[in-house]
Amino acid sequence: MSRTWTERRREMLTALQAIGAQGRADFEPIDGILRGYYPVPEHLRALDPEVVLIVGPRGAGKTEIARVLTEAGLAGAVASHAPSVRFPKGQTDWKKGYPLGSEGFDVMGLPRFLKEPGISDPVAELRNLWFAYLVRVLRDELDAQAKSNLAQFLSIQGGAVRDNYKAFLDAGEEPVLGLDRLDEELSRQDRFIFVTYDELDTLGGGDWNVIGPSIQGLVAFWAAYARRWRRIRAKVFLRTDLYDRHTATGGADLAKLAAGRVDLSWSDRDLHAMLLKRIANASPELYKFVSATNSKVEWSEDTKLGHVPALNSWRDASPIIERMIGPYMGADKKKGLVYRWLLDHVRDGRGRALPRPLVQLIEEAARIELRGLHPLREPRLLDPSSLRRALDRVSEDHVVHARDEWPWLDSLKEGLKGLLVPWERERDAIRLLEGTAWAENPPKRPPFEGRELLEYLIEVGILRRRSDNRIDAPDLFLAGMGLRRKGGVRRR
């Protein structure tokens, strides 16, 4: 007996609500990442041995790429999708340089270290400290001579920042000689070791005064040694706003690494392709649903990556999106075209739409539909009102997780909660920011005040300056920050 549309729809919605572990790569099983991962050729330049710096905003996929590189051996699976990328030849091993768990910095030990007597040049001292912890990362790869000569240093626990630093200095030239020999041995074995640095915004517990010199020290270290070692290579994943802030102060060191950097930007075409790929690989029924639609999307099969769509334009996806939801976000086009609405309402204040909130928007809308399965005629899976309700949840979740990078968001939210946007004048926004009661703990305070803070909030996309110069909040942050705006798509 053939199943009813309601039964088939319920099955597809159940799969749809889990297309990406709510879009968070740090919690998603590695097999799920491979099935959901969409290979963007520019992003895959991160695999080029000469590329050290990978820059992207929150939610752009830095953690996803870092995980698949260190845990899943992605290079072989994606090589055919980026024929112009220079992939490393020979065996590749990926190791984490940061975060390191118990082998790495104590989160609060780093600020204490920088306050030690005699620390006159924090960037220079942190350059040495990064060198010390690189040796710890590579300890199992060192030859017997290096292990013997560095035995005292390697016996120290990772969390003892000051002791590691002192023992490293006491070791003199032994660390560099040991890594020189390792690099030569790797060349003979035709091997590469890539060391990844991710989540650098957590350094010092999120203290801006620690993050800045720590990043500069890391950049200075690899700027000095990237040309010395050919088989020991680094991949530094850096959040866009941190990169932008340190471009001016990073000097020649940052310029060296930035020349060949990879920017994890997402075009509308790639975002639609990523979304379709996640949907298609969620279940056989959903693959039939998206692939049977009369569209220009071409599908291929990959043993590791699953079903992979190819789009010439983001508009190629519109027939599939409209089949799922319908053409309009309401009764007619006055409420918005669905295929435009999806991306436009998960953009931040800088106009960037990113994978994580887009994926979560579809997941949450499916979850809402399943809680009260309102009848929709075949082939509709989602009602526009469910998407609008889901957007509030996406915004709230986005702000909750953004606190990891901006610990002062709670105080800002409390100060702005319930207010109506947009604000007519810039000085009104500044006055509201200056009236916020910030915590005394440095990580719980923003790095700037007054007008400079407003400009920073616009810079990172929490707020936006409209073409009429009014200050607004993008939908991605609106509900999460407790702000309100008139109008919009009806919530049922």
**Does the pLDDT of residue 200 top 90, yes or no?**
no
**Does the pLDDT of residue 125 top 90, yes or no?**
yes
**Residue 247 pLDDT:** 65
How far is the C-alpha of 85 from the C-alpha of 42, rounded, in Å? 8
| Sequence-separated (6 or more) residues with CB below 8 Å from residue 157 | 102, 163
**Residue 22 pLDDT:** 40
**Residue 100 pLDDT:** 83
**Residue 31 pLDDT:** 66
**Does the pLDDT of residue 470 top 50, yes or no?**
yes
Report the pLDDT averaged over residues 351-362. 93
**Residue 75 pLDDT:** 64
**Residue 403 pLDDT:** 85
Q: Which residue has the higher pLDDT, 317 or 45?
A: 317
Question: Which two tokens mark 30?
Answer: 């590695």
Question: Which two tokens mark 276?
Answer: 């379709």
Q: 83 with 109: CB under 8 angstroms?
A: no
**Residue 73 pLDDT:** 63
